Chain A
Amino acid sequence: MADELGTLECRDLTKAFGGIPVLKGISLSLAPGTITALAGENGAGKSTLMKIASGQYRPDSGEVFVRGESLPSGNPQAAYRLGVAIVPQELASVLEMTVYENIFLGRELSGPFGLRRRAMIESARQILHVFGVDIEPTRRMGSLPVGLRQIVEIVKATNTGARVILLDEPSSAIAEREVGKLIEVMRTLRDRGVALLFTTHKMEEMRALADRVLVLRDGELVLDEPLRNLTDDDIVTAMIGRELEGLFPALPEPGTEAVLEIDNLHVSGAAAPLSLTVRRGEIVGLAGLVGAGRTELLETVFGIRKSIAGSIRVKGTTIKGGTPAAAIAARMAFVPEDRKGAGAVLSMSVLDNATLPRMDKFSVGGLLRQGFRRSQVREAMDAVKLRSRGLDQSMETLSGGNQQKVVLARWLTSPVDVLILDEPTRGVDVGARSEIYRIIVDLAEQGMAVVMASSDMPEILSLSHRALVLRNGIIAGELDSEQLAHPGVQDTIFRLASGLEGIDSSTPDPSTNNQKDN
């Protein structure tokens, strides 16, 4: 009987969003006192699975059982009652309240004279102590670093009697030294018989924590093995898995002329300055973990952030930093990572969104040239095969892939020399993905210098002439096309990105290693 306690069981879960299947029949079981890692690429269905298991989403079919009891679907309160707690990627703590108030939120201790604050403070202190964190419970939550806030969230979850704790990328937002604390807390919970499931992109965390590894790929569970039976390569191969041929077009030969020259650019928050030259027609991929400084670098180059030092030149002309308008005038174009937050004005039409970066071209004395901009924008949108009800359709009613096409193609109504892409296919389905790849390669062929940050490994491997791995804002390693074609390269990138391999240690020699992959 004791063995049954804390078990979470999922049976044949399926879920689709807008007709696109996200989970295709997932079955899994978590034993008490174990830590399970859930790995997979972005969009593989990890978060969806967690949201179903914690009652936030209703599965299209299938069932979740907690300690043998069926979880009423789409009912977070019931999940909470049954002892399932989720610690989301974006924390849900009330920053203006104290630590103990957060821990007791919703289940405050009160007596005949109102809240029993002293009892709550004392009790919070004890619980925190069990986990080896001695934070003063009366401190304001907002004054704690993110890592500690996360631990308080986990403590809060166990304090509500959770027997199953789901953690969505627990280490993505916290500093390196705080990860150790998190690992300790998770181990303590395991020893107390809690079943833990966490998602991660980092190999080292799986190694340090997990008893078992699950890998999701395109909504299917492709790997479910005890960690000790797996090599890093097994996991990576399971994550990437799919046929790369066909999805990516062939890369054209890059030119020789240097178009973008980044010279000793010190990005705010980076460990050191960095230099980079991108040639005409060349696609340079930027790999690295979340928080490695890729987005910061790209945003600094485009003038959204101010740099500490260094210079940026396009075709030999130095760009005035710190303003996107200057970058645009120098024929740069930028497709940001967060499409909804930064890429598009969703309340405006396709036409207006496409006009925005080219206002000088599309207006005379302040008046918009209606016919001209319409024909120019239509031409650009036709070139990327945008599927819409017309140029006047509001952006918010387009699919993710089509929104991304607009955000990319809107630059194409004027010549562009430098194209900066941050996660160009995030949240884009596979079909639209291959079209976007084709567009990027076409643009490079026309002579643009392309810099592309991506967390999608196949993108880095198959869409870059050259890849840089970033860590702490500096280049931890550089891989040329030959190295990128090598079977062991994914492991090399993981190692460079996570700091397991120094800058100086060479990539595996193509002739000796990793024969088993072939």
Chain B
Amino acid sequence: MTITQDTTRRFSAKWLQDLAVRYAMVIVMVLIISFFLYRSARFGTVDNVVTILIAAAPFALIALGQTLVILTGGIDLSVGSIIALSAMSGALTAKTFPDRIWLALLVAVAVGLIAGSINGLVVSIINVPPFIATLGMLTLASGLAFVVGGGAPINGLPAAYGQIANTEIFGLTIPVILMIVSIVGFGILMKRTAYGMRVYAVGGNRLAAEIAGVKTGRILFSVYAISGALAGLSGIMLSSRVISGSPNLGQGYELDAIAAVVIGGASLLGGRGTIWGTALGLLLIQTLNNGLDILTVPAYWQDVIKGVLIVTAVAVDVWASKRRV
């Protein structure tokens, strides 16, 4: 009997802790927003919110793909380079076939899908550690991006190319709408479908998933393919926004995407994390970037603050998972 009471008492304390941990990110978010609102009149305007969303959109796509990969216990370092490669491929297509802009979109996404599929095959069939496989793809895709443009950016693209990203519907640009639709879509995918559950299972315990009949190799392959395709989509959006293709586009974006996923509470060991968490982590980073810009905090200090935030988020995660058992 004593034991039961003991555990109940501990359970209620644990329950409070869990609550604090679960909503820690929301609390931090609210604090940061209140701080910026207090310090700057411009921060809260509709225009500024739209600015934040536009900045967030290309990151959102790769962060969603990254979430799936990290949920399986892997990592995808190549998305930044895939953005550059698909942007260059899209731009080259648009330059070659100026009348067929849809083809540029298709080519960019296909290039991303192919690069991601190669990652997936190398990881799931040859069992190369994801870190190494995607590090290789990072270098390879970055090199190819320069090859496509002969080392130079691709400019002088048809005006229609810019319409992909700059068309507005209900006052929102297509990338922003794409971001919102993707977050909702992936949220449903991960929470409500058999596929989502399989991804969680593979990351939580690959052997147990295999024994329960999950074709774990296919699941692993699919998350890298999806991540690559989303990077391709992100690439064409970024390139369309500035109506040019640059081989330096997307450089280092993979780290921001990983940061968003980790701040959102996902475990790099796999099996834990949510789309909702990633969306929140992403908005947190973008809000911070935007707010610090408005307050004219120097860029270098912005990086320092972001670095502290990332480590703090993971520290909270470790602290929380110790208390989970």
Contacts and interface: CB of A to CB of B under 8 A. Distances in A.
B266 to A, nearest CB: 11
A343 B212 CA distance: 8
B213 A342 contact: no
Nearest to A389: B11
B207 A357 contact: no
How many of chain A's residues touch chain B, expressed as a range?
35 or more
Interface stretch (B146-154, B191-199, B223-231, B295-303): B191-199
B215 A356 contact: no
Nearest to A352: B197
B11 to A, nearest CB: 9
Given A352-B197, A359-B194, A368-B193, 5 more contacts: A19-B3, A342-B208, A342-B211, A344-B208, A348-B204
Nearest to B188: A367
Interface string A324-347: 110111000010100001111111
A347 to B, nearest CB: 4
A34 interface: no
A237 B109 CA distance: 70
B36 interface: no
B211 A302 contact: yes
B200 A352 contact: yes
A355 interface: yes
B177 interface: no
* Most A C-beta atoms less than 10 A away, residue of B195, B207, B212, B324: B212
B272 interface: yes
24 contacts: A19-B3, A304-B210, A323-B215, A324-B211, A328-B212, A334-B211, A336-B211, A341-B208, A342-B207, A342-B211, A345-B200, A346-B204, A347-B204, A347-B205, A347-B271, A348-B271, A356-B198, A356-B209, A356-B212, A363-B193, A366-B193, A368-B197, A396-B324, A410-B212
A103 B272 CA distance: 40
A302 B207 CA distance: 13
Interface of A: 18-19, 302, 304, 323-325, 327-329, 334, 336, 341-348, 352, 355-357, 359, 362-363, 366-368, 370, 394, 396-397, 410
A399 to B, nearest CB: 11
A396 to B, nearest CB: 6
B205 A367 contact: no
Nearest to A334: B211
A343 B194 contact: no
A247 B201 CA distance: 35
A368 B211 contact: no
A23 B211 CA distance: 35
B214 interface: yes
A368 B205 contact: no
A231 to B, nearest CB: 41
Contacts, number: 88
Q: What does DSSP make chain B's interface, helix, strand, loop or mixed?
A: helix
A362 B210 CA distance: 18
B19 interface: no
* Most B C-beta atoms less than 10 A away, residue of A304, A336, A342, A363: A342
Contacts of A359: 194, 197-198, 213-214
Contacts of A356: 197-198, 201, 209, 212-214
A83 to B, nearest CB: 34
Nearest to A344: B208
Nearest to A340: B205
Contacts of A396: 324-325
A363 B215 CA distance: 16
A328 B212 CA distance: 8
Contacts of B271: 345, 347-348
Interface in B279-325: 324-325
Contacts of B211: 302, 304, 324, 334, 336, 342-343
A397 B213 CA distance: 24
